[in-house]
Amino acid sequence: MPRYNPAEIEPRWQRFWEQNKTFRTPEDTNLEKYYVLDMFPYPSGEGLHVGHPEGYTATDILARFQRMNGKAVLHPMGFDAFGLPAEEAAIKRNVPPREFTEKNIANFKRQLKMLGFSYDWERQVSTTDIDYVRWTQWIFLKLYDTWFDETTGRGKPIAELPIPADIQNQGDQAVIEYQDRHRLAYEGDALVNWCPALGTVLANEEVTDGRSEQGHPVQRIPLRQWMLRITAYADRLEKDIETVDWPEGIKKLQKDWIGRSEGAEVDFFVGDNSAYQTWHEIRRTKGFPSSPESEVLRVYTTRPDTLFGATYMVIAPEHPLVEKITTDDQRLAVEAYREAAASKSDRERQEDKKTKTGVFTGSFAINPITNQPIPIWIADYVLINYGTGAIMAVPAHDERDFAFAKQFQLPILAVVKPTSTDDSVNWSDVEKGLACFSGEGIAHASGDYTGSTTENFKTQIKSDLATQGIGRAAVNYKLRDWLFSRQRFWGEPFPILHELDERGKPTGRKRAVPEDQLPVDLPHLDDFKPHGRLEPPLAKAPESWLFVEIDGVRFRRETNTMPQWAGSCWYYLRYIDPKNDKALIDPKLEKRWMAVDLYVGGAEHAVLHLLYARFWHKVLFDRGVVSTIEPFQRLVNQGMILGEMEFTGYRGADEQWVSSEQVIETEDHSLVLAKDRSPVMPIKLEPDQIEKVGDRFVLKSDPTIRIESKAYKMSKSRGNVVNPDEIVTDYGADSLRLYEMFMGPLEASKPWSMSGVNGVRGFLDRVWRMIIDERAEERVLNESVVSVEPNEDQLRVLHKTIKAVTQDIDTLGFNTAIARLMEFVNYFTKQSQRPKSIMETFVLILSPLAPHIAEELWSALGRTESLAYEPWPKFDPDLTIDQTIEIPVSIQGKVRSKITIARGMSADDIEQQALADIRIVELLDGKTVRKVIVVPDRMVNIVAT
């Protein structure tokens, strides 16, 4: 075996690791633990993408590095296998989703093994495994059995929910309904995002711009749905994020998504003045009720200090009071508006934010602080599911209200004056109603409050409103409860039964499937396709599945299924105790391994998966299943890998080249010339047709024609997808691993380059030839590799390399670690004597990055065991520091000469030596030295005039 041949070496070592169970998780509890986790993949039919191995290689390097540092490493892998895309693909191919999914998992697993990742495969979990589904359903039942106690901020068993006396008096049914209203998993009528094309409802988080992730339009319809009360945990989700080591950007995204705001709720009476007076009097004595009377509109505002400027009100078209307050002469217009709003998709509603629409209801409410009647409008710019679904409009100080007031000629009253230092807006324009000022400032025309700062005003009025019983301080969140049911087949069935009466009609009562009857498996269905109606496919299940009898009572199973997120919310726990059939996880093992020390995955999961998982984890914490408040201690997002850089030129209809800055993209994604909108054709160009002039690329044959150069996202349609199988076949797994790490910083997005892969393969070839005799028939050492004592230079190179590589791996700086290994090889291939001991140490520090070639060389150097548990080499600090060093001498900050000094030389000595340097003496001739700055061991700077 003369030449480096990864095709032979790599499968052989993969087999060795598997047969010797090299990467089985150690049970020795004396070792320090290290839990390093990848975001598990969704096993698509396409197979692994080159983006996947980026994060996986990073975590694998850490896992191997920590094993060599003597830690007990838990490094598992699994599959997020439920979900819409698999089901869609299965329908298209007409195979059952489970069969399709299992085939994909097998393929993914083959590809992952081919890359030599050191996963403990005995711990593999798939969210679709029936053993796994059992515990996902078990957690759902925990959510169902939990209510959130606001006073302690904790989730508690529903049996501990205090039942108010008035409910108790209404009987059992009332108590059941009361409990159901407080569960973390509850059924509610929600305006849902119904996607006709997919035949399912989607979560708010799965809808962007009124479209599904696949781009299908989404409508809003009311439907009875399972919801999870994540909003109860909003406060803790927001606060506890400060305790974890995550990128600041991701923390901010989560905080913004939770969207906590502080403000006040204020009640506006709808009716005539005398009724208002009476109401006001009652409120003064009785205080602010938990829900308003039927003739009262409750609003939420973050700017109670602008109450004097509230000149009208707006309620959402779906607001329950619309019917009641609409006057007869406005009824037709209001009804028409409501219908139009309901049939509009979210996308249409948002299409033109600047143009506001709305209709007057005919009614007036009384501003409780000015006692003036103000008109009530309905408009779709007020959302029913935020705050109270109603606002007080302050057009002088809110951009949206301002636009609306302008549109419908409503009065604008300025009540906040910018401070004298604030020149963001012209006050006289604001006063005249010509401009809107949304900042903070000084109260104006606000009764006794005039002159207060916004901050003081807010505090004062909150307490004044509370005293009068017409308002109170309130906190709101943008976060909504999590819509948790899907009208699809390929997901976990809900372990919930709906009670039926003798005629087979639902009674409205439900019960949980008893724990010992879990899991509820999916039934076999010949036809699992969605049919476009709201009824889920599981409704077509055989009666034997659909109907259950317990203690003589008949039940119908819940036929919705859980969303894909369910399984990924807790998989990191199951890896710790994957075979446990008595419990979700053994508490002793949970304490041993949690939290995850390093979690690596794509930033696209910044809010959804990571927020949902944290929510479940907190519920499990409250219910005593886990001991940690946060699951993922440290999070790192790997960047996106883009396709190879592409050069694109454009040709017009007349076949003439067009410069790229004249080309624009239209709304329907076609390319046209900016000046006359005539179509142009993109032409892919080769690098040799292009040159760079200044900061732009132009056509070599015509430098006036500018060319676009860009790396695009990999996509099937663009045809720039790189397949890991091909890279492994052509270059080897170690080359792929090394290249992905060498491309640049882990967290940056960067373009693929095939010649770059070839480059790192060249490095591995050089590593091989440094140690192995390439011309021999058998695998023998290169004749330069000899058992001699290394000389000092060689030792210095070695120890500097160990130091740099150790630190770089520790800080995930893999690209620079590889650069240091390359420098080592460049040095030692020039050495005619390569001490064997040094070669051995080198192989060890190479091994986390390129494990197959490292094992092979380790064995060639005469070792019989795997190097996976060899101690990580230590460096001698003395050998990493040179005793004589060359430092620059600059004049006026510009380097003019270099001097060689002994390390640690005093500043005075260095200064003398610098000023004595021939070149410096020459340059200083005729000048006066004003100042000399000496940084010992680094540099000298002379200031002279």
Partner RNA sequence: GGCGGUGUGGCGGAAUGGCAGACGCGCUUGAUUCAAAAUCAAGUGUCCAAUGGACGUGGAGGUUCGACUCCUCUCACCGCUACCA
338 binds RNA (CB under 7 A): no
**Among 50, 307, 316, 416, which residue interacts with RNA (rule: CB under 7 A)?**
316
Minimum distance, C-beta of residue 333 to RNA, in the bound complex (Å) = 18
Q: Which is nearer to RNA, 871 or 926 (CB)?
A: 926
Q: Which stretch binds RNA (CB under 7 A): 114-122, 384-392, 728-736, 791-799?
A: 384-392
Considering only residues 766 to 795 of the shown chain, the ones binding RNA according to CB under 7 A are: 766, 769
**Among 53, 55, 116, 387, which residue interacts with RNA (rule: CB under 7 A)?**
387
Q: Which is nearer to RNA, 274 or 900 (CB)?
A: 900
Under 8 Å between Cβ of 414 and 437:
yes
Sign of the alpha-carbon dihedral angle for 904, 908, 911, 917: negative
753 binds RNA (CB under 7 A): yes
Binding string to RNA for residues 449 to 468, with x set by CB under 7 A, is what? --------------------
- What is the residue whose two structure tokens read 């976990």? 492
Minimum distance, C-beta of residue 275 to RNA, in the bound complex (Å) = 26
Close Cβ partners of 438 (under 8 Å, ≥ 6 residues apart): 397, 398, 399
Q: Which is nearer to RNA, 4 or 288 (CB)?
A: 4
Minimum distance, C-beta of residue 423 to RNA, in the bound complex (Å) = 13
Distance from C-alpha of 918 to C-alpha of 542, rounded to nearest angstrom: 97
Minimum distance, C-beta of residue 288 to RNA, in the bound complex (Å) = 17
**Nearest residue to 449 via CA among 459, 458, 457, 439:** 457
Binding string to RNA for residues 629 to 658, with x set by CB under 7 A, is what? ----------------x-------------
Considering only residues 679 to 738 of the shown chain, the ones binding RNA according to CB under 7 A are: 692, 695, 713
Number of other residues whose CB lies within 10 A of the CB of residue 239: 13
Element (H, E) at 463: helix 454-468
Distance from C-alpha of 729 to C-alpha of 751, rounded to nearest angstrom: 21
**Among 16, 138, 178, 386, which residue interacts with RNA (rule: CB under 7 A)?**
386
Name the β-bridge partners of 253.
none
873's tokens: 């080499």
Under 8 Å between Cβ of 520 and 137:
yes
Q: Which stretch binds RNA (CB under 7 A): 282-290, 483-491, 589-597, 825-833?
A: 825-833
Minimum distance, C-beta of residue 520 to RNA, in the bound complex (Å) = 32
3-class secondary-structure state, position 385:
coil
Q: Which is nearer to RNA, 589 or 607 (CB)?
A: 607
Beta pairing, strands 834-835 & 785-786: parallel
Sign of the alpha-carbon dihedral angle for 522, 561, 599, 142: negative
**Nearest residue to 927 via CA among 909, 908, 943:** 943
Q: Which stretch binds RNA (CB under 7 A): 71-79, 368-376, 529-537, 810-818?
A: 810-818
815 binds RNA (CB under 7 A): yes
Q: Which is nearer to RNA, 386 or 547 (CB)?
A: 386
Distance from C-alpha of 130 to C-alpha of 140, rounded to nearest angstrom: 15
Minimum distance, C-beta of residue 239 to RNA, in the bound complex (Å) = 18
**Nearest residue to 834 via CA among 779, 784, 773:** 784
Element (H, E) at 333: helix 328-343
- Binding residues for RNA, total number by CB under 7 A: 85
Minimum distance, C-beta of residue 874 to RNA, in the bound complex (Å) = 23
Minimum distance, C-beta of residue 338 to RNA, in the bound complex (Å) = 15
Under 8 Å between Cβ of 484 and 227:
yes
- DSSP codes of every residue in 561-609: B--THHHHTTHHHHTTSTT-SSSSS-HHHHHHHPSBSEEEEEGGGTTHH
304's tokens: 């109670």
Considering only residues 854 to 893 of the shown chain, the ones binding RNA according to CB under 7 A are: 886-888, 890, 892-893
937's torsion region: left (phi>0), alpha (psi -120 to 50) or beta?
Answer: left
**Among 63, 626, 818, 899, which residue interacts with RNA (rule: CB under 7 A)?**
818
763 binds RNA (CB under 7 A): yes
750 binds RNA (CB under 7 A): yes
Considering only residues 917 to 936 of the shown chain, the ones binding RNA according to CB under 7 A are: 931, 933, 935
Number of other residues whose CB lies within 10 A of the CB of residue 649: 25
Under 8 Å between Cβ of 152 and 233:
no
Minimum distance, C-beta of residue 617 to RNA, in the bound complex (Å) = 22
139 binds RNA (CB under 7 A): no
Tell me which amino acid residue 605 is: H
Distance from C-alpha of 128 to C-alpha of 249, rounded to nearest angstrom: 33
Minimum distance, C-beta of residue 524 to RNA, in the bound complex (Å) = 36
Considering only residues 343 to 382 of the shown chain, the ones binding RNA according to CB under 7 A are: 349-350, 353, 356, 380-382
Angle between helices 608-622 and 248-258 (to 10 degrees): 70
**Among 760, 764, 844, 868, which residue interacts with RNA (rule: CB under 7 A)?**
760
Minimum distance, C-beta of residue 707 to RNA, in the bound complex (Å) = 12
943 binds RNA (CB under 7 A): yes
Considering only residues 186 to 205 of the shown chain, the ones binding RNA according to CB under 7 A are: 204
Binding string to RNA for residues 890 to 919, with x set by CB under 7 A, is what? x-xxxxx-x---------------------
Q: Which is nearer to RNA, 573 or 606 (CB)?
A: 606
**Core vs surface per residue 880-909: b (16+ CB within 10 A) or e:** eeeeeeebebbbeeeebbebebeeebeeee
Q: Which is nearer to RNA, 139 or 818 (CB)?
A: 818
Binding string to RNA for residues 468 to 507, with x set by CB under 7 A, is what? --------x-x-----------------------------
Considering only residues 230 to 289 of the shown chain, the ones binding RNA according to CB under 7 A are: 248-249, 252-253, 256, 259, 261, 263
Under 8 Å between Cβ of 636 and 247:
yes
Minimum distance, C-beta of residue 855 to RNA, in the bound complex (Å) = 23
Q: Which is nearer to RNA, 83 or 389 (CB)?
A: 389
Minimum distance, C-beta of residue 217 to RNA, in the bound complex (Å) = 15
Distance from C-alpha of 318 to C-alpha of 386, rounded to nearest angstrom: 12
Binding string to RNA for residues 566 to 605, with x set by CB under 7 A, is what? -------------------------------------xx-
Minimum distance, C-beta of residue 615 to RNA, in the bound complex (Å) = 18
**Among 110, 181, 927, 938, which residue interacts with RNA (rule: CB under 7 A)?**
938
754's tokens: 């095939």
CA 892 to chain centre: 48
826 binds RNA (CB under 7 A): yes
3-class secondary-structure state, position 286:
helix
Q: Which is nearer to RNA, 97 or 358 (CB)?
A: 358
Locate all alpha helices (DSSP H) within 673-778, ordered by sequence: 724-730, 733-742, 754-771
Binding string to RNA for residues 523 to 562, with x set by CB under 7 A, is what? ----------------------------------------
398 binds RNA (CB under 7 A): yes
Q: Which is nearer to RNA, 143 or 228 (CB)?
A: 228
Tell me which amino acid residue 458 is: K
Distance from C-alpha of 736 to C-alpha of 537, rounded to nearest angstrom: 43
Peptide linkage before 418 cis (omega within 30 of 0): no
**Among 236, 400, 574, 800, which residue interacts with RNA (rule: CB under 7 A)?**
400
**Among 441, 751, 790, 835, which residue interacts with RNA (rule: CB under 7 A)?**
751
3-class secondary-structure state, position 934:
strand
Give the Å distances, CA to CA, from 86 to 99, 112, 395, 541, 729.
10, 20, 49, 20, 28
6 binds RNA (CB under 7 A): no
Under 8 Å between Cβ of 474 and 487:
no
